[in-house]
Structure 1
């Protein structure tokens, strides 16, 4: 039995944060470790990093891997919330995941598409008047409007900017891994503000004082009962309610990356406008190519063998998400941006994993992944065909050493004008 190669060091957390999305790929290459290597992190904890399609298949095998208790407390306290569905396992997870998936009806997804399309169109005049538009910032505000409206949440126009800012602070909480920083405290405060606001709406809905439409997230979560017939605690209900539309707001990162890709590959604009399904393929390639989630944690539920190595029960594991999607043995010429690769893609749940892998109903794959694709399709169609704009000189580099990853300038456009055929 061969020995698992190891990245030496008592605690490599800071090293991993410094190298960001490239840490796992760099270490695999340096160690000559194709699919697995050992490191230390999070206070010296022994961690096995698994990479590749077979690693994803293993990681999303519920008989081998569990996720409960593996997320860093800082991330739970800021990004997901205490007791959120992301922290559950077994029957409890499947029961609550079914609630999330019940929102993925044909009508709800169609409505989301219409909301996205209409909100971008209605935002045209605003962007025309702005001069320069930071797409990163503009899209987080717009997607906050879309997400809260879709969820049935009452969000007055005067509160949108505040909610958008708080959501962005929470999503940035990855920066707190392994260190004490002022931003962590700000993230916790931001989460508490949004939780308070949503919990009040849960309580008011249950009292019959506000009336969200049936089928919306607010209505369904407020009236839901678990498999024992118990309603969800109002605070926990607010946390999971937020988790129905917080991921939609995080799509602002994909939006800015999408415009970056369109700018780097101008032919894609024409193809999005003229080729059926190209907006879908383009959106999938943006999700694959650009940095979103670097890795995901888990723990061995039992003893098992992976890639010829015995892994003991309770061993802490990381799935190499970004690195897996940039391996040539998973996607041919993986470091090239090529939407056409999805023409004949088989839809595997274990290679395109920017928002998790496996089955939607029983695994931790993001229930909102379909929604991400819908929002990206409509947004890319809007910027490819409904408006024209100029891209001024700016720093368009992407810092893969930062988690989350960003375009340094946020992607700025100017001179936005509506495309109108006046012939």
Structure 2
């Protein structure tokens, strides 16, 4: 491999506009070009705009560190309005970002988020028993999305008063529409507006005292949270409420891929069911191998350079997550599902819900960012994601369920991808005993 270094004179540049190829190929677009040119960087044009594609752990550390890049102007409006919105934490930079980020670090700290795991296990058992009584195929992506929405609403301090089914449908539509243009994106954005109206009513209700909440709960903390400029605008607070709910519901996609992996690798299903020490390596391999969002974009805030290659202020840079997780120069047999590659970071057996040692993971595992959670843009919800995925994996491995006939092809041209054409259908057979 010819990784870029100080002697690099040029980055390969693809001819013409590559927008059609990117949309047609999906996840493999960047991965294939990195392999073709034997490089960790190449340039292309998307939507008429020049962009530098990067892969690898070093590139991730560079991309996420030292306020080099802003998310403003780095995503199509269709994506921004599906997943974020103006004024949300991910659109902020510098000290403003760090202050707002403080809220998420506070409520997702191990000492504060333990109730989320408990609520998830309770909601999972109840929903599993409901599915068992129904005896019909269940899409794990959609079904676990409802479980996660229910658990999150209870953990937030909103309890059963909110419609978990509606919040799950809205969140799942936002996620599914973010990688599309046309009807799927329009549907997600329409439901986002409905979800924002609900979130605004919640914030207004907390502030007016009309909505009873648990003192010190995440939703109460958010309603009264203050930035450097004072209390958050109600609309901004509502957006940040969705920025707690939606990413947790998004774990349902990892859960669907975990079930697909358990189905395809029955030996690992037995290993996970019998020994909790296998939970962390298995969950990390699911996060590496599962295609979620293919890349993340940023716009350079100032002139900088990447291993001898100049990046001017306002240049567009894309960190290719999919290619980073499949780089044959950094992963042994990257197309093979192999949790043993993470065994060295597993440590002693731990109860899912305890703090995940995500900082000990290999540097080229970057599904939710890289670098510091406190000072950078690495997702503060990453440990919670690992916890919830491990819990769901353990419960799936220890439960009785069948896989009905279905197309389990993972379509890599679809953004974001699904585990099978219908989100991993299963038929639960026996109720769970809490």
| TM-score bracket for the superposition, by shorter chain length | over 0.9
- Cα distance in 2 between the residues matched to 1:349 and 1:102: 26
> In the superposition, relative to structure 1, how do residues 419 and 348 fare at CA in structure 2: closer, same or farther (>3 Å)?
closer
Question: Residue 64 of structure 2 aligns with which residue?
Answer: 60
Matches within 5 A, 1:260-339: 260-339=260-339
Matches within 5 A, 1:141-290: 141-153=146-158, 156=161, 159-176=163-180, 179=181, 181-228=182-229, 230-290=230-290
- Where does the alignment leave 5 or more consecutive residues of structure 1 unmatched? none
Deviation at 1:65, TM superposition (A): 2.8
Question: Residue 382 of structure 1 aligns with which residue?
Answer: 395
Question: Residue 411 of structure 1 aligns with which residue?
Answer: 424
Once the two structures are overlaid, the 10-residue window that deviates more, 341-350 or 285-294, is: 341-350
- Cα distance in 1 between the residues matched to 2:12 and 2:404: 47
Once the two structures are overlaid, the 10-residue window that deviates more, 263-272 or 103-112, is: 103-112
Question: Residue 71 of structure 1 aligns with which residue?
Answer: 75
- Cα distance in 1 between the residues matched to 2:339 and 2:143: 25
- Cα distance in 2 between the residues matched to 1:306 and 1:123: 49
- Cα distance in 2 between the residues matched to 1:413 and 1:37: 41
Under a length normalisation based on structure 2, what TM-score does the superposition of the two structures give?
0.90
Pick the aligned partner of 2:378 from 355, 358, 365: 365
Question: Residue 13 of structure 2 aligns with which residue?
Answer: 6
Under a length normalisation based on structure 1, what TM-score does the superposition of the two structures give?
0.92
Q: Is the 8 A contact 1:36 1:49 kept in 2?
A: yes
Deviation at 1:417, TM superposition (A): 0.9
Once the two structures are overlaid, the 10-residue window that deviates more, 193-202 or 210-219, is: 210-219
**CA RMSD between the two structures:** 1.9
SS of corresponding position for 1:313: coil
Deviation at 1:340, TM superposition (A): 1.7
Pick the aligned partner of 2:39 from 31, 34, 37: 34
Q: Is the 8 A contact 2:70 2:91 kept in 1?
A: no
Q: Is the 8 A contact 1:134 1:410 kept in 2?
A: yes
- Where does the alignment leave 5 or more consecutive residues of structure 2 unmatched? 1-7, 346-358
Which digits, 9 at most, give the CA deviation of each residue in 1:173-218, with x for residues without a partner?
2233xx4x13333222211111111111111111122232233221
- Cα distance in 1 between the residues matched to 2:179 and 2:72: 22
Q: Is the 8 A contact 1:66 1:298 kept in 2?
A: yes
- Cα distance in 2 between the residues matched to 1:81 and 1:350: 30
Question: Residue 109 of structure 2 aligns with which residue?
Answer: 105
- Cα distance in 2 between the residues matched to 1:350 and 1:63: 19
Q: Is the 8 A contact 1:7 1:39 kept in 2?
A: yes
Q: Is the 8 A contact 2:177 2:189 kept in 1?
A: no
Aligned residues: 411
SS of corresponding position for 1:352: coil
Pick the aligned partner of 1:19 from 25, 36, 43: 25
- Cα distance in 2 between the residues matched to 1:107 and 1:404: 32
Q: Is the 8 A contact 1:103 1:215 kept in 2?
A: no
Question: Residue 411 of structure 2 aligns with which residue?
Answer: 399
SS of corresponding position for 1:363: coil
Question: Residue 127 of structure 2 aligns with which residue?
Answer: 123
- Cα distance in 2 between the residues matched to 1:90 and 1:198: 26
> In the superposition, relative to structure 1, how do residues 215 and 279 fare at CA in structure 2: closer, same or farther (>3 Å)?
farther
Q: Is the 8 A contact 1:254 1:287 kept in 2?
A: yes
- Cα distance in 2 between the residues matched to 1:391 and 1:237: 41
SS of corresponding position for 1:262: helix
Q: Is the 8 A contact 1:7 1:38 kept in 2?
A: yes
Question: Residue 85 of structure 2 aligns with which residue?
Answer: 81
Q: Is the 8 A contact 2:203 2:237 kept in 1?
A: yes
Deviation at 1:419, TM superposition (A): 6.3
